[in-house]
Amino acid sequence: MVNGAWWPLALSEAVPVDAPVGVVCGDQEFVLFRNSQGEVCAVEDRCPHRRVPLSGGKVVEGHIRCPYHGWTFDGRSGACVAIPNLSADEKVPSSYRVTTHVVAEKNGFVNVWIGEGSPTTELPFDGDNAQGVATSGAGVVAMSFPDYRTAFIDGPQVLIDMTGVSFTDFFLGDPKREGDMLVTDRGADWGSSQKSASRWKPDYPLILRTETSLSNGVMVVRLLSQLETPLLSLQLAAAPGRRNTTAFSWRAYVHPEFAKAAPLKWRLARALGQPAVRLTNTPDPVEISQIPIALSIELDQAPALSGHRTLVAE
Amino acid sequence: MSMTETFHDATATSADATNKPRKPGFVDWTPIQYDMRDTWFPVAHAPHVTDRPIRRMVHSQAYYLWREQGVVFASEFPPGCQEASRHMASEFTGGTGFYPVVERHGYVWAWYGNPDQATHDLLPHIPFLKRDGSHIPNYMRTVVRFDACSALSVENLLDLTHADFLHGELVGGEGEAKSDEVTFEFTSETLTRTRWVTGKPVSPVMRWVAGVRAQYQDFRSTLHVHLRSNLCISYPRFEPGADVPNVQPFVPVGKHRSRVDQIFNLHQAKTPFRQLMPQMAKVVGPQDNSVMRPQNPRYLYAQDRRDMHSRFDAPGARYRFLMQQLWERQKQGDYSYGHDADPGGDITKILGMDKALD
C-alpha cells in the first residue's frame, strides 16, 4: 500500500473567491476554487466531457464551469450540476461527475491529499508556532523537484535570500530525523546575504535550521539565535511541476525577537520596505552546480517520497 | 443510403458514463493518429498561389505551390528542383514529384494519396461559391491556424453550444434559448449536422454589426463534413439577421496543428456586416485555441475513461464512430469510397438552399 500525504499546493490568498486556480503535483493536475460558502474545493483539472482544463473556466454560484461548453460541477461531490444548453425539463445524469480530491485549508495553505489511505488530521505546518509580521510569495523554478529539495538541504543560499543574514555551509552536526522531517543546522551571521559568513569567527551568532519533509514538499527554514530563540520562520511548500520544474509558495514570519537581535542596518532596511526574505525563480545555475553533495545523502536513507515515483527521481 | 437520427433526450451515452475503467472493446478516440488518404485538400486560397512559390503541409507532407503563366503546380519539391530530387519523390506523387492539382470554388486543391485515384468527381460541391472561383472578394477570405489536430477542430464546429461560452461576447446568450434541437445525417464519407435554435438572445455581433434590433432571433445551422479531408461546408441562417455561408477546410498540417483557409459568401448581407464578419475569425480563433491547445495533448494516447456526452454531442459521437470505421478500413489498405458515398454530389438541398450559384 502506498502511503498518501497532504501536499500544500497554494497559499490561501492565491485561491480567490471568484476564480479557479490550476495547480500541478507530479503527473496530477488539480483545479482549486471556492464554493459559495467560501470553502476551498479541489477537483481534477479535466472536464470529463472533452478533457479541457477546468482551471480555464469560471466559478459560477460556487461551482466550477468548464470554459468550453459550460458543463458545471459541484466541488464537493463532483456532480455535474448543469449542462447549460439543456432545457429546464432535461436532467443531467447523476453519474456525470468530475473526480474530486480531499482538500483542507489550514495554516494559510491549501492542502490536497494525494495518495492512498485516509487523510490524517495533522496538516502541514500544524504546531509551527510561527508568529510576527508575515510576507508571502510563490514562483516556479526550472529545477526538478528532487534537485530543488537537495539544493534546499545542501545549499539553501542559492534558493533563498534572507536580507542581512549570511549563511554558511558549516554544518552543526549531522542531520536528524524528527518524525518525517529531516532537520539540519548550519551557522549563520549578520551580514550580506550575497556572501558566505567569515570562516574565522569563533562563534556564529545565528543558527540556520532547515526541516525537510520526507513525505511531501514541505520545507521549513528557521533562523534562530545561538540560544535557539526563533527569529524568523519560512514555511515553504514545493511541488513537482511540469517539465521537471518545481512550483513553490511560501510564507515568512519575522518574529518580534528579530528586531531586538538584529543590527541597526537590518532594522533600517526593514523600515525602508526591503523584504526580509526573497525566494528566487532563477537560481544561478553555476552556483547550483557547485553545491557539494553533503547532508542530502540522508535522503537516500529515507523511504521514497510517498511512493509517488513520478515525483522523485530514483 | 443516408441515415437520419434525431435526439431530444438529455443523454446520448451508455450507462458507463463515469470514470470507470473502460470495458473490453472500448476504443478511445485518438484522432491525431488518423492519416486519411485518397482525398482532395484545398491547400490554399487561389489568389495566394502566384509565381512566387509557397509551401503548405498536409499530414507533414510538403506541398510547394506556384504558377507558371497562370497554370498552377503542386510539387513535393521547390520549383527547379524536381529533376534533381526525382529519386526522392514519394508515392504521393507516383514518383513524378508532382501532385494532382486543380482549381475550383476559389481554392487550389491538391490530392493526398495515390495519384492514380485522383478524380475531379471527388471534389466537394460548394453550392454557394462559383465553381470558377469568381466573385470572391479578398475580404471574404481569412486564414486561421488551430493549435490542435484537424479532427478536434471539426468537433469544435460540430457542437456549437461552445459558442455560448467561448465566444459569448461575440455570439452571446450563455445557454439561453427557447428551444435547441440537433439532428444529423451521415454516409460512410460525410456527416451533416443541423441545429435549430429558437428564441435566442441576439448576439452582440448581430446587434451591433448586422444591425438586428430584435431582442431574440432564431437560427438554423447546417454543417456538412467530408470525413477524409475534414472539409466543413457551413450554412448558418439567422432570422432576423443574415445568412453566413462559409467553407472551413481543416487541413491537417500534422498531429498538433491544423489550418483553415476560410471563404465566406456574404453578398446578401449588408455593409458593414459583410466586411466585418470574416474578421471575427481573428477573435474567435484565439478563443477556440485557448481550449483546444491544452485539449490536444490529452488525446495523444488512448485513455481508460470515456468522454461524457450530452444530446448535443450526438453528431460528434457519430463523427467519431465514422472516422474510426474509415480509419480501420484505411489501416487495412482499403482506401476505396463506400457505395453510399458521393463526395462530389450536389448538396444544395442538404444545406437548405433553394439553388446553387452555378
What's the pLDDT band for B9 if we cut at 50, 70, 90?
very low
Quote the pLDDT of residue A269. 82
Whether residue B10 and residue A91 make contact (CB cut-off 8 A), yes or no, is yes
pLDDT above 50 (res B207): yes
Looking only at the bridges linking them, the beta strands covering A246-254 and A277-279 are unpaired
pLDDT above 60 (res B15): no
Interacting residues of A93 by C-beta distance below 8 A, sequence separation 6+? A80, B10, B11, B13, B17
Place of cell 514519394: B90
Asked which of B128-137, B162-171, B217-226, B270-279 is least confident by mean pLDDT, the reply is: B162-171
Q: What is the mean pLDDT of residues B1-30?
A: 47
Quote the pLDDT of residue B6. 30
In the 8-state DSSP scheme, what is residue A158?
A: G
User: On the CB side of B289, how many CA atoms lie within 13 Å of its CA?
Assistant: 15
Residue numbers in A near B161 (CB within 8 A): 69-70, 84-85
Quote the pLDDT of residue A221. 97
What's the pLDDT band for B24 if we cut at 50, 70, 90?
low
Beta pairing partners, B182: B7, B195
Kindly report the nearest CA distance between residue B184 and chain A, in angstroms.
18
Quote the pLDDT of residue A301. 60
Quote the pLDDT of residue B174. 62
Report the b/e string of B264-297 with b at 16+ CB within 10 A.
Answer: bbbeebeeebbebbbebbeebbebbbbbbbbbbe
Interacting residues of A118 by C-beta distance below 8 A, sequence separation 6+? none
Predicted confidence (pLDDT) per residue in B234-289, tens digit: 999 999 988 999 999 999 999 999 999 999 999 999 999 999 999 999 999 999 99
CB A26 within 8 A of CB A307: no
A93 inside 8 A of chain B by CB: yes
Question: CA-CA distance, B86 to B83, in Å (whole number)?
Answer: 5
Percent of chain B beyond pLDDT 90?
76
Omega before A292 cis (within 30°)?
no
One-letter amino acid at B33 equals: Q
Question: CA-CA distance, B93 to B77, in Å (whole number)?
Answer: 11
Whether residue A84 and residue B165 make contact (CB cut-off 8 A), yes or no, is yes
Whether residue A52 and residue B295 make contact (CB cut-off 8 A), yes or no, is yes
Whether residue A95 and residue B175 make contact (CB cut-off 8 A), yes or no, is no
Residue numbers in A near B13 (CB within 8 A): 93
Residue numbers in B near A46 (CB within 8 A): 298
C-alpha grid cell, residue B270? 449588408
Predicted confidence (pLDDT) per residue in A180-234, tens digit: 999 999 999 998 887 788 888 888 999 999 999 999 999 999 999 999 999 999 9
Residue numbers in A near B294 (CB within 8 A): 52-53, 56
Whether residue A68 and residue B174 make contact (CB cut-off 8 A), yes or no, is no
Kindly report the nearest CA distance between residue A24 and chain B, in angstroms.
14
Question: CA-CA distance, B126 to B348, in Å (whole number)?
Answer: 8
- Count of C-beta atoms within a 10 Å radius of residue A62: 19
Please give, one letter per residue, the 3-state secondary structure of chain B: CCEEEEECCCCCCCCCCCCCCCCCCCCCCCHHHCCCCCEEEEEEEHHHCCCCCEEEEECCEEEEEEEECCEEEEECCCCCCHHHHHHHCCHHHCCCCECCEEEECCEEEEEECCHHHCCHHHCCCCCCCCCCCCCCCHHHEEEEEECCCHHHHHHHHHCHHHHHHHCHHHHCCCCCCCEEEEEEEECCCEEEEEEEEEEEECCHHHHHCCCCCCCEEEEEEEEEEECCCCEEEEEEEEECCCECCEEEEEEECCCCCEEEEEEECCCCCCCCHHHHHHHHHHHHHHHHHHHHHHHHHHHCCCCCCCCCCCHHHHHHHHHHHHHHHHHHHHHCCCCCCCCCCCCCCCCCCCCCCCCCCC
Listed as ranges, residues in chain A with pLDDT below 50 are: 1-2, 306-314
Beta pairing partners, B252: B258
Using a cut of 0.95, tell me whether the model's pTM lies above it. no
Quote the pLDDT of residue B282. 92
CB B196 within 8 A of CB B181: yes
pLDDT above 60 (res B204): yes
pLDDT above 60 (res B172): yes
Quote the pLDDT of residue B36. 96
Looking only at the bridges linking them, the beta strands covering A165-171 and A230-240 are unpaired
Question: CA-CA distance, A9 to A129, in Å (whole number)?
Answer: 21
CA dihedral B255, B256, B259, B260 (to 10 degrees): 100
Quote the pLDDT of residue A309. 38
Question: CA-CA distance, A240 to A90, in Å (whole number)?
Answer: 42
Q: Which of A29-43, A292-306, B178-192, B339-353 has the highest mean pLDDT?
A: A29-43
Nearest to B310 among A56, A68, A86 (CB): A86
Whether residue A48 and residue B164 make contact (CB cut-off 8 A), yes or no, is no
pLDDT above 90 (res B188): yes
Q: What is the mean pLDDT of residues B179-202?
A: 93
Question: CA-CA distance, B107 to B252, in Å (whole number)?
Answer: 16
In the 8-state DSSP scheme, what is residue A93?
A: P
Question: CA-CA distance, A218 to A149, in Å (whole number)?
Answer: 10
User: On the CB side of B324, how many CA atoms lie within 13 Å of its CA?
Assistant: 11
Nearest to B310 among A66, A83, A97 (CB): A83
Place of cell 512550483: A247
Cα A195 from chain centre: 26
Considering only CB atoms, which residues of chain B are within 8 Å of chain A?
Answer: 9-11, 13, 15, 17-19, 155, 159, 161-162, 164-166, 174-175, 177, 179-180, 290-291, 294-295, 298-299, 305, 307-313
In the 8-state DSSP scheme, what is residue A97?
A: B
Question: CA-CA distance, A216 to A104, in Å (whole number)?
Answer: 15
| Interaxial angle between packed helices B281-295 and B150-158, expressed in degrees from 0 to 180 and rounded to the nearest 10 | 120
Question: CA-CA distance, A79 to B140, in Å (whole number)?
Answer: 44
Instruction: Give, in order, the Cα–Cα distances in Å from B14 to each of A78, B18, B186.
Output: 20, 10, 21
Report the b/e string of A206-232 with b at 16+ CB within 10 A.
Answer: bbbbbbbbbbbbbbbbbbbeeeeebbb
One-letter amino acid at A206 equals: L
Quote the pLDDT of residue B5. 35
CB A50 within 8 A of CB A69: yes
Question: CB under 8 Å, gap of 24 or more: what pairs does B82-91 form?
Answer: B90/B61
What's the pLDDT band for B2 if we cut at 50, 70, 90?
very low
Quote the pLDDT of residue A265. 82
Place of cell 483542507: A104
3 state SS of A152? helix
Quote the pLDDT of residue A308. 40
Cα B3 from chain centre: 21
One-letter amino acid at A226 equals: Q
Predicted confidence (pLDDT) per residue in B57-73, tens digit: 999 999 999 999 999 99
